[in-house]
């Protein structure tokens, strides 16, 4: 019987519960779980830099019990990754729906993990920014007392 190799792909910035759910979901799909963590250079090639540096993001994922192997991810094109690592199943967040359907040509099952509404790194960054802006505004806006 062939053991199933699962690859979970992500940036894993501001690690949160949906990241953990996706990794654990991937673990449940097969026998060996490989998690690819996008490098800072890769992320910056298509969006703003991550809040948490690559070295810290990969260390967090390595600290989890589910992954068997954690590797740097240098590209969004995964055909050579799935071939070189004998990947049977590919998992990524549902914000990428359709982008990795081409992997099916290699016999790979592709799952787009549904984040749904709620926690995301983008939402967390926005909340932190908005809360910080309110804090600054409230601390900077005050009456100027008359000198005595």
pLDDT at 134: 66
Model confidence at 102, pLDDT cuts 50, 70, 90, reads: very high
pLDDT at 14: 87
Burial 55-71 (b: 16+ CB within 10 A, else e): eebbeebeebebbeebb
Distance between CA atoms of 125 and 81, rounded to whole angstroms?
Answer: 30
pLDDT tens digits, one per residue of 35-76: 999 999 999 999 889 989 999 999 999 999 999 999 999 999
Q: Residue 121: is its pLDDT beyond 70?
A: no
Q: pLDDT: is 113 or 134 the higher one?
A: 113
Q: Residue 137: is its pLDDT beyond 80?
A: no
Distance between CA atoms of 112 and 26, rounded to whole angstroms?
Answer: 11
The reported pTM is: 0.82
pLDDT tens digits, one per residue of 88-97: 999 999 989 9
Model confidence at 133, pLDDT cuts 50, 70, 90, reads: low
Distance between CA atoms of 26 and 11, rounded to whole angstroms?
Answer: 15
């Amino acid at each position: 019987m062939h053991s199933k190799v699962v690859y979970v792909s992500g940036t894993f910035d501001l690690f949160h519960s949906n990241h953990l759910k996706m990794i654990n979901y991937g673990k449940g799909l097969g026998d060996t779980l490989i998690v690819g963590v996008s490098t800072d250079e890769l992320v910056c090639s298509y969006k703003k830099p991550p809040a948490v540096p690559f070295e810290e993001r990969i260390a967090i994922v390595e600290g989890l019990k589910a992954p068997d192997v954690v590797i740097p991810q240098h590209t969004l094109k995964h055909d050579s990754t799935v071939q070189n690592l004998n990947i049977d199943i590919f998992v990524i967040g549902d914000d990428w729906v359709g982008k990795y359907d081409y992997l099916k040509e290699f016999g790979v099952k592709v799952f787009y993990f549904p984040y749904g509404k709620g926690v995301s790194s983008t939402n967390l960054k926005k909340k932190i920014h908005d809360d910080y802006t309110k804090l600054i505004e409230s601390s900077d806006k005050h009456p100027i007392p008359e000198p005595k």
